[in-house]
Amino acid sequence: MEPFLIAVIVAATPFLYAATGELVAERSGVLNLGVEGMMLLGAVAAFVTALTTGSSGLGILAGAAAGAAGALLFVIVALGFSANQAATGLALTIFGAGASGLIGQGYVGEALKPLPKFQAPEQLAEFTGVRILFNHDVLVYGAFALIVVVWLYLNFTRSGLRLRAVGDDHHSAQALGLGVLRIRSLAVLFGGACAGIGGAYLSLAYTPLWAEDMTAGRGWIALALVVFASWRPLRIVFGALIFAAFDQAGNYRETLNIEIPSQFLSMAPYLATIIALVLISMASRRSDTPACLGREFRPDR
């Protein structure tokens, strides 16, 4: 059980980054379906940088920058030129897959030293809980910290309030003098950087090597996770752990004596998301679904 729980926390980390970033973008009213592509860009950039410079810190930064660069493309096309957001996001995913494959071409088969992990103090290491929670690398803790920060930001700061306002009603926001496109661009770039770090985690720590399409659909799970969390940051933690548990249950089927086919387990996150969507639309109380999600905005002038 213990290795399984450790594996769940580790597997949840890329979901946490990518989903938190996407949540911020979506709360501002932008649906960026390019998460998978941005994660791949982040993964390859982080791997190549860490390998050539020998610094995993620089690798993480490069991953964030590459994810943000992918998001910048999205910003230019979908926000700058008011192109359809869904189509732009899909294009970004395909572009990210291709570009990352091209960049990583010469690096397939190379291996990196994984990110160093914290060591629990010896006196405490005998407790199972401590071993599960305190033997991780910096990105794992960063992911949880990030969510708390985003939660505080969205709910308790003026800037976060403006971001939510833009996602709720962009015309009213413009009438109030808020820079709708500026706020959305920044939110999408933040989302891209987060997705990039999520990708970097995969190539620097999770499986410290580069392989084409190594994200294996995690970007899509992250998108589903935002819906599953009904656009609330703290619920993402819960959702990411559940989705990661589904993901890892396949690997631990024998040790855990799980009879369920692994194909069902990999389908489960999406099934859970569909159920969450149904529950959201059945609830009489309005959810935090951003009312302007995915709607293009052209300032009238």
Partner 1 sequence: MGQNAGGKGGVTGSHGDAPLFEARGISKSFGDVAANKNISLKVHSGEILALLGENGAGKSTFVKMTDGVLRPDSGAFFWNGKQITIKSPAAAKRIGIGMIFQHFSSFEALTVLENLALALPQRSLRAIRRDVAEVSERYGLSINPKRRVERLSAGEKQRVEIVRALLQKPKLLILDEPTSVLTPQEADGLFATLDSLAADGMAMIYISHRLNEIKELCDSATILRHGEVVGSCDPRSTSVPEIAEMMIGKTADPIDRAGAYVGGPRLVVDNLSVPAKEGVSLKKISFSARRGEIMGIAGIAGEGQDTLFAALSGERRTPKAKSIKIDDQPIGAMGPTSRRRKGIAFAPEQRLGHAAIADFSLSDNLRLTRHAMREFSNRKRRAQSLKIREDYDVRSSANDPKAGTLSGGNLQKFVIGRELDRQPDVFIVAQPTWGVDAGAASSIRNKLLSVAERGGTVVVISQDLDEIFQIADRVAVLHRGELSLTHLVDDMTPDKIGMLMSGEDINSVSKDAIAQNFTRKRATRITETQEETSPAETRITDEQVKDPTQREAPASVVQTPQPAISPVITSSSMTSSITPPPSKPASQPSQKSTPARRIFVSGNVSTPWTAPEIIQKGTVL
Chain residues that interact with partner 1, rule: CB under 8 A = 158, 161-162, 164-165, 168-169, 171-178, 286, 288, 290-291, 300-301
Q: What is the CA radius of gyration of the chain?
A: 19
Question: Apex CA 240: angle with CA 247 and CA 286, to 5°?
Answer: 130
State whether residue 216 is helix, strand or coil.
coil
Question: Shortest gap between Cβ of 225 and partner 1 (angstroms)?
Answer: 21
Tokens 């009238």 sit on residue: 300
Nearer to partner 1, 48 or 163 (CB): 163
Nearer to partner 1, 122 or 300 (CB): 300
Nearer to partner 1, 266 or 289 (CB): 289
- Residue 182: how many CB atoms within 10 A of its CB? 11
46 token code pair: 């982080």
Nearer to partner 1, 72 or 293 (CB): 293
SS3 string of 223-291?
Answer: HHHHHHCCCCHHHHHHHHHHHHHHHHHCCCHHHHCCCCCHHHHHHHHHHHHHHHHHHHHHCCCCCCCCC
Q: Which residues pair with 117 in a beta bridge?
A: 137
Return d(Cα 152, Cα 160) in angstroms, integer.
9
Question: Shortest gap between Cβ of 175 and partner 1 (angstroms)?
Answer: 5
Question: Shortest gap between Cβ of 74 and partner 1 (angstroms)?
Answer: 24
| DSSP class per residue in 19-70 | HHHHHHHHHTT---TTHHHHHHHHHHHHHHHHHHH--HHHHHHHHHHHHHHH
Question: Shortest gap between Cβ of 287 and partner 1 (angstroms)?
Answer: 9
Question: Shortest gap between Cβ of 76 and partner 1 (angstroms)?
Answer: 23
Nearer to partner 1, 138 or 178 (CB): 178
Question: Shortest gap between Cβ of 185 and partner 1 (angstroms)?
Answer: 17
Nearer to partner 1, 151 or 201 (CB): 151
Question: Shortest gap between Cβ of 284 and partner 1 (angstroms)?
Answer: 9
Return d(Cα 228, Cα 243) in angstroms, integer.
10
- DSSP class of residue 115 equals P
Nearer to partner 1, 108 or 234 (CB): 234
Percentages helix, strand, coil for the chain (3-state, rounded to 5) are 70, 0, 30
Nearer to partner 1, 173 or 236 (CB): 173
Question: Shortest gap between Cβ of 181 and partner 1 (angstroms)?
Answer: 13
Amino acid at residue number 230: S
